[in-house]
Amino acid sequence: MSEYIEPIERLADMFRRLEGVGKKSAFRMAFSVLELSEEDARDFADAIISAKTDIKLCTCCQNITVGDMCEICSSSKRDRSVICVVEDSRAVAAVEKSGVYGGLYHVLHGAISPMHGIGPDKLKIKELLSRLSDGEVREVIVATNPTVEGEATAMYISKLITPLGVEVTRIANGVPVGGDLEYADEVTLRRAIEGRRAI
Amino acid sequence: MSEYIEPIERLADMFRRLEGVGKKSAFRMAFSVLELSEEDARDFADAIISAKTDIKLCTCCQNITVGDMCEICSSSKRDRSVICVVEDSRAVAAVEKSGVYGGLYHVLHGAISPMHGIGPDKLKIKELLSRLSDGEVREVIVATNPTVEGEATAMYISKLITPLGVEVTRIANGVPVGGDLEYADEVTLRRAIEGRRAI
C-alpha cells in the first residue's frame, strides 16, 4: 500500500533512482518540492532536462562538457604530454581544485568490477589508447580510486599502455594529511611506510 | 569559481534548495541525473511539475490531496468526533501506519516558532477552529512534535479550544519502545516517570 498520494509517491520514486538516496530522504525531498514556488519547480524540471540534453562527453578526454571539447582539452596552457586517468568527472574537479596538476585528463566513467558486470569494454579505455597513438604523451598518471576496483583498473591500464613506450604511474597511497595514525587502517599504513621518502 | 560546467551547477543548486540536502549530496544527485535515460529524466521533470500542480490542500483537514477533499475526510468509516492535529502530512502518514487511530486529522503545516518568524497566523489554526463550530467534534488530540515549537503550538491550541467545550489531549511523552533507558535523555525520562500507569 502506498503511504502517500500518487504524485508524491511518483516523485519520491524518481528521487530514489539517484545515487545514495534512500526512502526517507526521497520522501523528504519530494515534500520539499511542494514548498518550492511554481517558478522554482519549473526551473528545477528545466534543469533536469537541460542537464540531460546539453551535457555531452568531450570528444577527447570523455569528461562532461557543453561543447564538443571541454575547456581543459581546448586550453593552450595545459601540458599535453601528461594524462591523468580518473574514474569520473568529480575526480577531475577534485584534482583541479588541488591546483597541483597542469596536464590533461581522461575520464573512464567507472572502474572494472566483475561483481557489477563492468568489464573493460564498458569503460573509455579504447578512447584512452587512441590518444596515445601520436607519441605526444609521455606519461599516464592513473588516479583511479584506491579501491579494489580502482586498483584492478589501474593494473589493467598499465599492462595495456606500458608496451606502447608510455610511462605509467600511480598516485601514492598513504596517511591523509591532517589525519591521525591511530585511525589509519593497516593497509594504508603499510603503503605509507613502503612509500616513505627521505626528508 | 564554479567547479563544474553550468548545467551541473544549476541542477545541483536546485537540489540544494530541498530540505536537508548539502553541497556534496546535491552534486552527487546532479551527476546521477546524467545516468538516467532521457525518458526517465523527462519523467522526473514531469513528476516535479505535476507534484506542484496536481497537489492541493484538502478543504477540510488541510492535508495534501489530489481532489478537493482527501480520502480520510471523505471516508464514511472514520470517527468524525475526534481530530488529531499534526504539523505536517508526514505525521499523518506516520499515525496512519500505526493503525491505532480511526478519527480525522488536521494538518497545521508547521509549528509556532518566533525564531523563524512563524506565528500562529502562518499555521492552519483558523481552519481548525472553524471545524469545531458545529459541535460534532468532542476531542482534539494534539500530536505536534515533542519539540519546543511543537509544545508551544500545543499549548496555544489548547488555550483556544478548551473554552469551546471540546476536550484537548496531548500524545504521551516517554521512552520509545525498543529503546534503552541508558540512552534516554533526562527530560524524556522525567516525562516517562510522571506519565507512569498502573500495570
Please, is A158 exposed, middle or buried when counting C-beta atoms within 10 Å of its C-beta (0-12, 13-18, 19+)? middle
* Cα dihedral B128→B131→B137→B140 (10° resolution): 0
Quick: pLDDT tens for B120-142: 999 999 999 999 998 899 999 99
Taking CB atoms and an 8 Å cutoff, what residues of chain A touch B25? Answer: 20
A residues 72-101 lying closer than 8 A (beta carbon) to B: 88-90, 93, 96-97
Q: What is the ipTM of this complex?
A: 0.82
C-alpha cell at A102: 597542469
| CATH tag for A6-54 (out of 2.20.25.90, 1.25.40.10, 1.10.8.420, 3.40.50.300) | 1.10.8.420
Q: Is the pLDDT of residue A174 over 90?
A: no
Mutant choice from B18, B50, B61, B71 vs A, greatest count of A C-beta within 10 A:
B18
C-alpha cell at A94: 577534485
Which candidate from A7, A88, A93 shows the least CB-CB separation from B3? Answer: A93
CA A10 to centroid of chain Cα atoms:
29
Quick: pLDDT tens for A44-62: 999 999 999 999 999 999 9
Q: Which residue has the higher pLDDT, B72 or A180?
A: B72
Least Cα distance to B67 among A153, A83, A5 occurs for: A5
C-alpha cell at A95: 584534482
User: Residue B66 and residue B71: Cα distance in Å, rounded?
Assistant: 9
Q: Are A69 and B76 in contact (CB under 8 A)?
A: no
Check residue B1 and give its pLDDT.
52
Quick: pLDDT tens for A20-38: 999 999 999 999 999 999 9
- CB-based contact B49 A34, cutoff 8 Å: no
Could you tell me where in chain B the CATH 1.10.8.420 domains are found? 6-54
Closest-CA distance, A61 to chain B, in angstroms, reads 15
- CB-based contact A51 B3, cutoff 8 Å: no
- CB-based contact B18 A10, cutoff 8 Å: no
| Structural fold of domain B71-198 | Dna Topoisomerase Vi A Subunit; Chain: A, domain 2 (3.40.1360)
Closest-CA distance, A69 to chain B, in angstroms, reads 12
Could you tell me where in chain A the CATH 3.40.1360.10 domains are found? 71-198
Check residue A166 and give its pLDDT.
94
| Residue A69 CB partners (closer than 8 Å, separation 6+) | A58, A59, A60
Quick: pLDDT tens for B146-197: 999 999 999 999 999 999 999 999 998 888 888 788 888 888 888 888 888 8
Average pLDDT over residues B48-70: 94
Maximum distance among all Cα pairs of chain B, rounded to whole angstroms: 65
pTM metric for this prediction: 0.81
C-alpha cell at A85: 586517468
User: Residue B131 and residue B110: Cα distance in Å, rounded?
Assistant: 19
User: Residue B19 and residue A195: Cα distance in Å, rounded?
Assistant: 44
Q: Mean pLDDT, chain A, as a whole number? A: 92
